[in-house]
Structure 1
Amino acid sequence: MIEELIRRVAAEDDDAVDELSAIADTEPQRLTPYQGLLLDLDLLWPPKLYRAADADVIRRVIEQVDGGRTPDRLNHLLLVLAHTGHPLAERAMRRWAERPPTGADELHVGPLGYAPEGGWTVGSDGNRRDLCGDIAYRWLMRETSRIDDAPDCPWCASPLWTATDIDTSESAVAAALAHTGWSGRLMIETCHFCACYTTLYSRVTPDGTATWWTGNIRPSYLPDAAEPEKPPALLPVLGPARPSPYQASAWERGGSTLGGRPDWIQDADHVGCPGCGQPMDYVGLIGGVDLDEFGEGAYYLHLHQPCGLAAVNYQQS
């Protein structure tokens, strides 16, 4: 079945691409035996099809980059390697950061700049850091009355929205946030309106305090709201475990997820910590369709434990 799907993808069958992508999200290892065929047919998109690539396939991709015969494909090849997150891929990308391969001068970022697309980075200390976790739980939306006494957004005067309120004393939360190093209660407040226009940061402490970060800069293109908007009277609560960390969905109802890997609508956007400049750790995704019947887009939650800062950014098609 998978081999037939791959041949349909080669014939530009979009439905087959969707079916293969669904497999990559639920059981990526099922694609491992067929990734050589994907390469043979020059099928490099979407790169998440290579999440569970084995060492032989990764070596073939590295050889293509080192060969320099197809610099026009370098972008896709680097995305493939980033999504594998394999030590061989990391080693090659570090090497190319020092000695760029043919075609690198046409890229918008250096080879290691692709790593966040796969959910990892190389820190200022030279060590690899995973920005995402491998354990995920569905987020269920429950009605809340906490907006009644919420502080107002300094920009639009809308009540701030509690995007999450969780505690690592619950073992499932601790597992989902293990990669962040956070311990204690984590509450992230944001403006559901202004966050659609720029990344918003807040200071957070392990006792559950969240305060608007005074360094937030209002963008000039932020529209003036005629009147404050009430945020969703909904709070995400922990649901069942996801069988795969890749099953968050920015599009489908029920796709909101704590932990795991984000479903980016656009390019990966692991926001930088304003305290130290390092990429922040990914916490979870809240889909617009889970907040409102006609909602769209998705809110992405981030955390940097060493600096005590959280962030929310937003993407839509």
Structure 2
Amino acid sequence: MVEELISKVSVGDDQAIEELSVIADADPARLTPYLGSLLDRDVLWPGKLFRAADADVVRRVVERIDGGRTPDRLNQLLIILAHSGHPLAQSALRRWSTEPPAGADKLYVDALSYAREGGWTVGPDGRRRDLCGSATYRWLMRDAPLRADGLTCPWCASPLWTAADLDTADPVVRAALEHTGWSGRLVIETCHFCACYTTLYSQVTPAGATAWWTGNTRPSYLGSAEAEDPPALTPAPGEALQSPYQASAWDQGGSTLGGRPDWIQDAEHADCPGCGEPMDYVGLIGGADLNDYGEGAYYLHLHQRCGFAAVNYQQS
């Protein structure tokens, strides 16, 4: 089956690419024996097909970049390495961040920044740090209780939306947030409207306290907006998923706690306003699970050490 799909992909069959992508999300290792064939056929996109690339495939990609033979494909090759997360890929991305390869002058960020596409980064101590966890749970939408405190967005006056109310006393939550180091209750509130235009930060504590960060800066293009009610739903953890890659920003039932994000655009891990480091990913809430329009997705982030949570949004 996989061999047939690869043959179809090599002649531009988009449906075959979609089917391979489904396999990459559910069981990336299933594609490992065939990734060399994808390289032979110059199939470099989407990069997530290479999540379980072995040392031989990663080495071939690194050699291709070092050889400078296809500088016009550098962006796709770097994304492949980022998704693989292989030690050889990590080493190469570090090297290219100070010794840029051919074609790097056409990129918008340096080579090491591509690591975020794969859900990891390199910290100030020089060590790899995973921004995402491996435990993943479906998020089920529950009716949100009416707010009694009257808190509203300082910019548009819409009532704030509780995008998450979690407690690590629940084993499911504890597993999903293990990579963040968080312990206790986590409440993430945001403005569902203004978060569509800029990353919104809040300050959070393990006691469940949450407060709009006064450093949030209203973008000039936001203009005036009338208050509108937030989604009448809030997520609650459901069943475990077999793979951390099974979030969907498009499909109903695709909202997930933990695991890896399904970015609609480029990876956009929020940076902590306290220290500047990338924040840990918490979960995705897809528009298809919130309303009939099904457009876009909210992405939730956390930085335990500085006590900041963040919400940003992407749409097609």
**1 CA distance for matches of 2:274 and 2:150?**
26
The 5 A counterparts of 1:270-281 are: 270-281=269-280
Distance across 2 between alignment mates of 1:316 and 1:105: 28
Determine the C-alpha separation between the residues in 2 that align with 1:203 and 1:222: 23
Counterpart residue number, 1:288: 287
Q: Structure 2: how far apart are the matches of 1:280 and 1:302?
A: 6
Give yes or no for contact 1:147–1:233 (8 Å, CA) kept in 2.
Answer: no
In 2 relative to 1, CA 65–34 (structure 1 residues): closer, same or farther, beyond 3 Å?
same
Higher mean alpha-carbon deviation, 196-205 vs 68-77, is at: 68-77
The 3-state SS of whatever aligns with 1:314 is strand
Cα contact 1:151–1:159 (8 A) shared by 2: yes
Deviation string 1:69-118 (CA, Å, 9 cap, x unpaired) is 21111111111000001111101111111222122222111110100000
Q: Give the C-alpha shift of residue 234 in structure 1.
A: 1.1
Amino acid aligned to 2:63: E
Q: Determine the C-alpha separation between the residues in 1 that align with 2:92 and 2:224.
A: 48
Structure 2 unaligned segments of length 5 or more: list them.
none
SS at match of 1:229: coil
Instruction: Name the structure 2 match of 1:153.
Output: 153
- C-alpha deviations, 1:109-154, integer Å up to 9, x for none? 1110100000000112211110011110000000021434341111
Deviations 1:229-283 (A, max 9, x none): 1111211001000111000000000000000000000000001111111111100
Give the 3-state SS of the residue equivalent to 1:125 in structure 2.
Answer: coil
Question: SS of the residue aligned with 1:240?
Answer: strand
**Range with greater deviation from structure 2 (11-20 or 141-150):** 141-150
State the secondary structure of the residue aligned to 1:101: coil
Partner of 1:106: 106
| Paired position in structure 2 for 1:180 | 180
Whole-angstrom distance in 1 between the partners of 2:181 and 2:270:
17
User: 2:168–2:174: 8 Å Cα contact kept in structure 1?
Assistant: yes
Distance in structure 1 (CA, Å) of the matches to 2:223 and 2:16 = 41
| 3-state SS in 2 of match to 1:137 | strand
State the match for 2:303 in structure 1.
304
What does 1:38-117 correspond to in 2, within 5 Å? 38-117=38-117
Tell me the distance in 2 between the aligned counterparts of 1:97 and 1:235: 41
Query: 2:192 aligns to what?
Result: 192
Matched positions, count: 316
The amino acid across from 2:126 in the alignment is G
Q: In the aligned structure 1, how far is the partner of 2:293 from the partner of 2:150?
A: 25
- Counterpart code for 2:6: I
Distance 1:18 1:174 in 2: 33
Give 1:302's aligned amino acid: H
Cα separation, 2, equivalents of 1:92 and 1:224? 47
Structure 1: which amino acid aligns with 2:106? E
Q: What pairs with 1:97-246 in structure 2 (closer than 5 Å)? A: 97-226=97-226, 228-246=227-245
The Cα of 1:35 is off from its aligned counterpart by 0.3
Q: Shift in Å at residue 33 of structure 1?
A: 0.5
| Deviation for aligned residue 1:296 | 0.9
Calculate the TM-score normalised by the size of structure 1.
0.98
Aligned residues with identical type, % of pairs: 71
* Gapped regions of structure 1 (runs ≥ 5): none
Secondary structure of the corresponding residue to residue 169 of structure 2 = coil
Is contact 1:50–1:83 with CA below 8 Å preserved after alignment? yes
Q: What is residue 266 of structure 2 aligned with on the other side?
A: 267
> Tell me, what secondary structure is at the counterpart of 1:276?
coil
* Corresponding residue of 1:22: 22
Deviation of residue 295 (structure 1)?
3.1
> Structure 2: how far apart are the matches of 1:20 and 1:111?
26
* C-alpha separation in 2, matches of 1:3 and 1:229: 51
The answer to which of 194-203 and 149-158 deviates more is 149-158
**Residues in 1 aligned to 2:4 and 2:189: alpha-carbon distance in whole angstroms:** 47
Residue 305 of structure 2 aligns to a residue whose secondary structure is: helix
Q: Secondary structure at 2:222's aligned position in 1? A: coil
Partners in 2 of 1:294 and 1:108 — Cα distance?
A: 32
Measured against aligned partners, the alpha-carbon deviations of 1:36-80 in whole angstroms (never above 9, x if no partner) come to: 100000000000000001111111111111111211111111110
| Contact in 1 for aligned 2:250/2:294 (Cα 8 Å) | no
